[in-house]
A and B are shown apart, each in its own frame.
Chain A
């Protein structure tokens, strides 16, 4: 799907060039279509280990897009997608991401015992301090509520091992003494947050 859209865009661009007409300015919605091909329509991802973008804070999205462009966060597809982005592109995409509706929790509520265990860990490690009580994030601190469970596990593990360098290093510190079992428990609850 992504490839075909890219091909379509390239074809349109080539045609416009061929007839010597200025390419009409693409709207950000059109430009973001390839993003949503993987990250999900409306920003709720259906793909393994690919994050939902909906409701993400614009400053956090901007930081990540910047880190991708500068290859300070290494994910090949994203490094490739952002490599020719201008600063204004980064701003336009991050502002757009923030307008997408937040992801919805799964319809089934989750196992009450596991939900309670995760909630206790959220309080214990004070995730809900910086990420706010409803885990919606603020400013440079991301929304984590109802993010994909597999992406949360992956991300927390990467922060803990420092495989993913955070922007300011806070998450590496916070996770220093969070066990892998606790990471799994946290992700379960955060992904089903209501």
Chain B
């Protein structure tokens, strides 16, 4: 999509006749010429049909000793963002489908209900005071008292439309902060482009759609964030650019300490790597570096602070980050859940891979997108490849749920 007129000059490749132009949104921008290994890489799209319950890769999924994985729900095509209502309803967003699904457990049975349909890339969800907020590609809508109207939901009411319509990095993760404001990322409209003032950011608005303010700038494509329950700061994942190399830039975990901070894209990636095209005339020291590098092309998406009590103490207030896994890398990387343990000051103490097995022999058997903490402290993990949600429990509690 052509950016609005106020856009700065497009990618400089357009000016160099020796190197023909690629459109600004193309994921192939920057792909090395004449490199056979690079030519084999292309975006991987999840199949449209969910896998049958007995075809899920549950047995291949590995978690630390004492933890257990079970299927919470299946048959939800392209299951992406997860949110849980006060009554325990699990809401599921999707990128390739057009509906929002509610998972209701009653008398040991799992029921899937469509709460909204005919939507366009309804990837992002938030829930607050009983209201479900839905982020489509370019608008936000809501359903009040959603858990009371699951059987006969009204059409969602649009509250905010002041969003670009770009397909590239246009699907959204949303969340409501401790300030009761709705946070909305607007990614760069392409792999590596100079963006205008309406892109490359995380903005926040009041719940009635007013009062827009940019919270973070220089954001390439964030599809996950949460607030630290200790210091209330916003932590967000951000995906680095493609086609620079197999190993850099790495994806980022960032922390916002003051409103309007700039995290560098597209001038500087991973805090210390000036972009070969746009980095000229800039220094990485102008920008806030990430607090953690989360791996090359690993596609860190949804994340949550663990605020439950079921898991052992060392996981309390730690970040669980779903890494969707790479496509722009010969040897795929990610496809797991990473735990990030923080120090008291909010910086990173250590990391560990918590859940793996989605990547087998350089092929995905599943891809984690988002995590969410249930009231009992167990954790849900969505898998858009299989259209499924897994539940992770610790200790003996898992037997009770069977």
Which residues of chain B come closer than 8 Å to A178, judged between CB atoms?
A: 23
Q: Which A46-100 residues sit within 8 Å CB-CB of chain B? A: 59, 62-63, 66-67, 70, 72, 87, 90-91
**Which of A19-27, A109-117, A123-131, A184-192 has 4 or more CB atoms under 8 Å from chain B?**
A123-131
Say yes or no: A167 contacts B49, CB within 8 Å.
no
A44: shortest Cβ distance to chain B, in Å? Answer: 26
A74: shortest Cβ distance to chain B, in Å? Answer: 12
Residue on A with the closest CB to B170? A169
* A173 close to B (CB within 8 Å): yes
Chain B, residues 1-28, CB within 8 Å of chain A (1/0): the string is 1100000000000000000111111111
Q: A168-B43, A170-B43, A176-B2 are in contact. Are A90 and B25 (CB under 8 A)?
A: no
Say yes or no: B28 contacts A129, CB within 8 Å.
yes
Range for the number of chain A residues in contact with chain B: 35 or more
Most buried by B among A59, A133, A177: A177
A179: shortest Cβ distance to chain B, in Å? Answer: 11
Which residues of chain B come closer than 8 Å to A87, judged between CB atoms?
A: 49
A69: shortest Cβ distance to chain B, in Å? Answer: 9
Complex Cα gap A141–B28 (Å): 14
Complex Cα gap A170–B27 (Å): 8
Most buried by B among A123, A165, A168: A168
* B395 close to A (CB within 8 Å): no
Say yes or no: B96 contacts A174, CB within 8 Å.
no
Residue on A with the closest CB to B191? A173
Residue on B with the closest CB to A87? B49
Q: A165-B120, A167-B45 are in contact. Are A125 and B22 (CB under 8 A)?
A: yes
Chain B, residues 94-126, CB within 8 Å of chain A (1/0): the string is 011110000000000000000000001000000
Complex Cα gap A118–B48 (Å): 32
Q: Which A119-173 residues sit within 8 Å CB-CB of chain B? A: 123-126, 129-130, 133, 138-141, 162, 165-170, 172-173
* A175 close to B (CB within 8 Å): yes
Residue on A with the closest CB to B167? A169
Complex Cα gap A10–B26 (Å): 47
Say yes or no: B28 contacts A126, CB within 8 Å.
yes
Say yes or no: B23 contacts A162, CB within 8 Å.
no
Say yes or no: A62 contacts B39, CB within 8 Å.
no
Q: A169 is contacted by which of B20, B21, B31, B168 (Cβ under 8 Å)?
A: B168
Complex Cα gap A133–B42 (Å): 13
Instruction: Add 5 more A-B contacts to A165-B120, A175-B23 (CB < 8 A).
Output: A63-B47, A67-B48, A126-B26, A129-B28, A172-B25
- 5 A-B residue pairs with Cβ-Cβ distance under 8 Å, sorted by A, are A129-B28, A141-B42, A169-B170, A173-B27, A177-B24
